């Protein structure tokens, strides 16, 4: 029910949202490695998973983010506020990332709404099939060659979904002033 | 002789005077006739000019009368058109008032329906409550798992002690084995229960997040309808310039 173009669009939208919102600086390196989901998370990943939902009339997206529970990840996000715990930072960053996805999707689907984030045990991810998803994509994301997280995009649709989203390549335009 | 001559002279003089008088009279008559002729000609010319002028005037008067009639007809026609336009304007105004009333009702309904957000908020609070209960059940299940593990250890120790006691501990060994079997089943049940709770956590969270996000979607859609109704109302209320 979800066309390949729509799946590719979801991926492009997520990549752009991750590059701009999961990083503390859009110029930072952001690498994606496709992962199997539900499957074993990277070693050292938190046993807690952050869940957010974007709802539309005919589909919903459940975005889950498992941040690395290691020094590199803590140090990376500590730069934004030393007094914050990684969980607090993850809540805010996850919210921003989901908001960026929402912002891109609203160009194609005018009726959208976004939930607040909620933290669950990472064991819950093993039951994503209970949501009867039409499309699941998981990525192991490495930020600035140090911080790590596992992102899972789960799309449940009640009607055929086909759209093509074009997103600007953030690496090409970040920090550059283009004059024509 | 001289008297005769005088008389003759007088006669001639009288004749001459008469002749002269006659000539003068004829000349005067001729001049009078000429003058009369000129006057008659002038009069005829003047009369002809007056007649032409009267004819022209009558023609103009006739044209003006036709024009007045035409204008009167046009005025009547325009008056009729104006009456129709006034009637149409009245209908349009009535329709506009009706549309305005509808726009106000839509705006009012949209504003009223925005109160749905309170319902969504209540659902969200219920989700938090439900998740808290799930969390409590997780905690109790973990405690149960710890107890079961402990019972397993105790039953294992009991089996070892029963084996040491030899024949005297045979009965106790059977009981210890039964306890271990029950503890193992409890452990499996506890794990299954934990899996159920995890599944429940995900489905509950995803469902209520869907409700929460859907609520925001509906609220945004209603706000959009309200804004459109307000714009429509504003356009209807705007006086034509």
Chain A stretch 11-70, residues whose beta carbon is closer than 8 A to a beta carbon of chain B: 51-57, 60, 62
pLDDT in tens, B136-194: 998 999 999 999 999 999 988 988 988 888 888 888 888 888 988 998 999 999 999 99
CATH code 1.10.287.950 for B115-237: yes
Cβ of A145 under 8 Å from any chain B Cβ? no
Q: Where are the domains of chain B?
A: 1-113, 115-237
Q: Is A84 strand, coil or helix?
A: coil
Of B110, B186, B119, nearest in space to B149 by CA: B186
**Residue-level pLDDT at B239:** 62
- Cβ distance B205 to A121 less than 8 Å, yes or no, reads no
Q: What is the dihedral of CA B64, B70, B71, B74, to 10 degrees?
A: -170
pLDDT < 50: residue spans in chain A: 172-180
Which member of A55, A124, A128 has the closest CB to residue B210? A55
β-strand pairing of A112-114 with A118-121? unpaired
Nearest CA in chain B to A125: B202
DSSP letter, residue A25:
S
**Cβ-based contacts of A56 with chain B (< 8 Å):** 217
Helix (H) or strand (E) holding A147: strand A147-157
Q: How far apart are CA A104 and CA B140, in angstroms?
A: 43
**Cβ-based contacts of B221 with chain A (< 8 Å):** 111
Q: How far apart are CA A106 and CA A100, in angstroms?
A: 10
Chain A stretch 93-122, residues whose beta carbon is closer than 8 A to a beta carbon of chain B: 111-116, 118, 120-121
pLDDT in tens, B82-128: 999 999 999 998 988 898 888 888 888 888 887 888 888 888 888 78
CA distances from B179 to A112, B173, B189, B235 (A): 56, 10, 15, 82
Domains of chain A, first to last: 4-156 (3.40.1550.10)
């Amino acid at each position: 029910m979800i066309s390949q173009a729509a799946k590719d669009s979801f991926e492009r939208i997520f990549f752009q949202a991750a590059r701009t919102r999961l990083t503390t600086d859009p110029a930072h390196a952001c690498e994606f490695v496709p992962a199997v989901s539900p499957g074993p998370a990277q070693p050292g990943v938190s046993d807690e998973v952050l869940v957010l939902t974007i709802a539309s009339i005919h589909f919903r997206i459940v975005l889950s983010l498992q941040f690395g529970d290691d020094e590199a990840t803590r140090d990376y996000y500590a730069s934004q506020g030393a007094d914050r715990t990684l969980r607090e930072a993850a809540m805010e960053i996850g919210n921003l990332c989901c908001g960026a996805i929402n912002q891109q999707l609203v160009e194609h689907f005018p009726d959208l709404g976004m939930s607040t984030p909620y933290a669950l045990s990472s064991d819950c991810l093993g039951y994503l099939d209970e949501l009867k998803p039409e499309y699941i994509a998981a990525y192991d994301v490495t930020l600035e060659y140090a911080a790590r997280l596992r992102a899972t995009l789960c799309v449940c649709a009640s009607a055929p979904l086909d759209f093509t989203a074009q997103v600007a390549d953030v690496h090409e335009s970040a920090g550059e002033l283009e004059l024509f | 002789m001289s008297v005769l001559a005088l008389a003759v002279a007088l006669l001639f003089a009288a004749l001459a005077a008469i002749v002269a008088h006659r000539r003068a009279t004829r000349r005067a008559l001729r001049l009078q006739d000429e003058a009369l002729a000129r006057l008659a000609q002038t009069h005829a010319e003047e009369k002809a000019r007056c007649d032409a002028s009267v004819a022209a005037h009558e023609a103009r008067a006739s044209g003006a009368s036709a024009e007045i009639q035409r204008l009167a007809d046009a005025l009547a026609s325009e008056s009729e058109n104006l009456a129709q336009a006034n009637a149409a304007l009245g209908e349009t105004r009535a329709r506009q008032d009706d549309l305005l009333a509808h726009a106000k009702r839509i705006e009012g309904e949209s504003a009223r329906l925005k109160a749905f957000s309170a319902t969504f908020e209540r659902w969200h609070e219920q989700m938090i409550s439900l998740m808290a209960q799930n969390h409590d059940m997780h905690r109790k299940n973990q405690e149960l798992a710890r107890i079961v593990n402990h019972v397993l250890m105790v039953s294992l120790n009991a089996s070892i002690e029963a084996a040491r006691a030899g024949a005297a501990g045979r009965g106790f060994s059977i009981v210890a084995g039964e306890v271990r079997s029950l503890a193992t089943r409890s452990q499996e049940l506890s794990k299954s229960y934990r899996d159920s709770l995890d599944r429940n956590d995900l489905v509950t969270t995803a469902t209520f997040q869907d409700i929460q996000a859907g609520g925001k979607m509906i609220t945004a859609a209603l706000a959009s309808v309200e804004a459109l109704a307000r714009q429509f109302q504003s356009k209807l209320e705007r006086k034509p310039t």
